[in-house]
Structure 1
Amino acid sequence: MRVVNRLAGVLLGLVLLAGGLLVVVEGVLAATGRRPWPVDFATWYGPLTRTELRAPVVLACSIAVGVLGLLLFVTQVRRWAPPRLAVRHGTGARPVSWWVYRRSVERELSSAVDALPGVSETRCRLRGRGDRWRLTVSPRGRSDTGEPVHRAVTAQLERMAAPVPVRVRVALRRPRRVA
């Protein structure tokens, strides 16, 4: 989501910058008594003064701006999953905080499960905040591979010092048939 926020911010900034520069140029030209250069006001201001509020164009533009504003609002208010998750703290006199990246943990768990015989194409989805993790593992494999997958995931989480307890859900998908 960080990339989308940055792109939206850059786009909005460029639009505002262009609009501000246009206003400055038009203001300087009007102050010096010259004709408007980039935008001829007579060509767009005249039709705008004759357009009524009940016109379909006004309604369509209002709906489009409202939907865009609502979409931006919802994407900004929605709680997104943090990119980092806390792991168990170090022991000793001074507590140490450690963090791991969510995508790295998902890739590591997928690789550990794919190393099992009879299991392939594993997708892991790690959710949660802080030290409360929820993990969904969905590999392709036969129904009897569920317990080994669960053991492999639990061992890998223990090796990563994941916070205890982690809710692990294994959702096996049917293996693909070889033609």
Structure 2
Amino acid sequence: MRIVNRLLALVLGIGMVALGAVVTTEVVRANFGRPRWILPYDRLWAYLTSHAWTSPSVRLVFGVAAGIGLVLLVMQLWPRRRRYVPLAGAADGIDVVVPRRSLRMAIDAAAVGEAGVRAAAVRLGARRADVRVVADDADVVPKVTERITERIDAIGPEKPLKVTVRTVSDR
């Protein structure tokens, strides 16, 4: 979502700068008695003065603008996924965090470090860690779960994570 926000801000910013430059140029040209350059402001003025606020076309335009504004507002107010996991045991006024990616990599390394596990994939949620392992047999699940739990406890997240380990077949 951050990329969408940045691209949208870039496009809207460039559009606003371009519109500001065109309007400024038109105003300067009009002050010097020159004809209009790009904007057909005479037709625009005639259209705007001939339509009331209650006309369907005006309501449609403002309804679409309000809808787009609401969508943008909801996009900004929607909670984003945290990039960091807070750790316990920090002193007052000091926040200690670990990046989510680093925690996923540590869990992955703990799973792959167990004998019989060839690969692992980790999905990290707010309160749980789902781990899929490619293993020779399903008997490694308790050992892998214990090893991952030990690694997570050593890192020490503020909220404990529930660990779920599943084996998948090697395809």
Query: What's the offset of the Cα at 1:62?
Result: 5.1
Q: Do residues 105 (structure 1) and 87 (structure 2) align? A: no
Aligned to 2:129: 136
CA distance in 1, matches of 2:95, 2:51: 62
Q: Separation in 1 of the partners of 2:103 and 2:89?
A: 17
In 2, Cα distance between equivalents of 1:64 and 1:122: 43
| Aligned residues between the structures | 166
TM-score, normalised relative to structure 2: 0.74
Which residue in the other structure is 1:131 paired with? none
Give the 3 Å change call, closer, same or farther, for CA 114–70 of structure 1 in structure 2.
Answer: farther
CA shift digits 1:63-99 (9 cap, x unpaired)? 64344322211111111132222223358xx986422
* 2:124 matched residue in structure 1: 125
Give the match's secondary structure for 1:123. Answer: strand
Q: Distance in 2 between matches of 1:138 and 1:58?
A: 52
Instruction: Work out which of the residue numbers 154, 162, 166 in structure 2 matches 1:168.
Output: 162
User: 1:119 and 1:139, CA in 2 relative to 1: closer, same or farther beyond 3 A?
Assistant: farther
Q: Quick one: which amino acid aligns to residue 124 of structure 2?
A: R
User: Offset of 1:24 from its aligned partner?
Assistant: 0.8
Aligned to 2:112: 114
**Aligned counterparts of 2:49 and 2:118: Cα–Cα separation in 1:** 68
**Paired position in structure 2 for 1:54:** 56
In 2, the alpha carbon distance for the partners of 1:123 and 1:16 equals 43
The CA deviation string for residues 84-121 of structure 1, in whole angstroms up to 9 with x for no partner, is: 22223358xx9864221112212221232233324634
Query: Larger deviation: 65-74 or 98-107?
Result: 65-74
SS in 2 for 1:152: helix
Give the letter aligned to residue 153 of structure 2.
Answer: E
Q: Distance in 1 between matches of 2:122 and 2:49?
A: 58
Matched, 1:154 2:145: no
C-alpha separation in 2, matches of 1:95 and 1:62: 47
Distance 1:51 1:119, change over 3 A: farther
How has the CA–CA distance of structure 1 residues 144 and 74 changed in structure 2, closer, same or farther, with 3 Å as cutoff? Answer: farther
Residues 107 and 124 in structure 1, CA contact (< 8 A), matched pair in contact too: no
Write the letter of the residue equivalent to 2:38: P
Residue by residue over 1:114-164, the C-alpha shift from the partner in whole angstroms, topping out at 9 and shown as x without a partner, is: 33324634122132xxxxxx122130456544322321211111232333x
SS state at 2:121 partner? strand
Normalization by structure 1: what TM-score?
Answer: 0.71
CA RMSD in angstroms comes to: 3.3
Give the gaps of 5 or more residues in structure 1. Answer: 128-133
CA contact (8 A) 1:29 1:36 kept: yes
Amino acid at match of 2:23: V
Instruction: Determine the structure 2 residue equivalent to 1:40.
Output: 40
